[in-house]
Amino acid sequence: MDAVGAESLVRTAELRIARIRRPPGLRIEGVVDVRTHRHLRGALDVIAPVDGDLQLDLSGLEFLDLGGLRMLIGFARTRNPGHHVELTGLAPHLRKVISLVGWDDTPGLRLGDRRVN
């Protein structure tokens, strides 16, 4: 499903983040590492007040470091009870890391569709 109503929040050489309205959330593309963490944190702060479930589309990620992954998991954990963050477009290795460390059981987190490689 294509996101409707995208609004650019971050556009650097390494990272592009757009706010999407339907479903509400973010589309994250490029590289998330120590140099771009502050941009990811800022974008998550923008959508944090949204009531209800959120979707983070990760299908355009080229790289996500452990710090960035922890940030996404922590964001899901802090949602109001009954509100979820769905990670869609996950690369198989990211899904495996999330499962290996037990983060797939994180309250507020849903693992959506897999990225087709």
Q: Which CATH number fits domain 7-111: 3.40.640.10, 3.40.50.620, 3.30.750.24, 3.40.50.300?
A: 3.30.750.24
Please state the domain extents for the chain. Answer: 7-111
How far apart are the C-alpha atoms of 59 and 55, rounded to whole Å?
Answer: 12
Q: pLDDT tens for residues 77-104?
A: 999 889 999 999 999 999 999 999 999 9
**How confident is the model at residue 1, as a pLDDT?**
37
Q: How far is CA 91 from CA 23, 61, 78, in A?
A: 20, 8, 24
Q: Which helix (H) or strand (E) holds 47?
A: helix 37-47
Q: pLDDT tens for residues 26-71?
A: 999 999 999 999 999 999 999 999 999 999 999 999 999 999 999 9
Q: Which residue has the tokens 């693992």?
A: 111
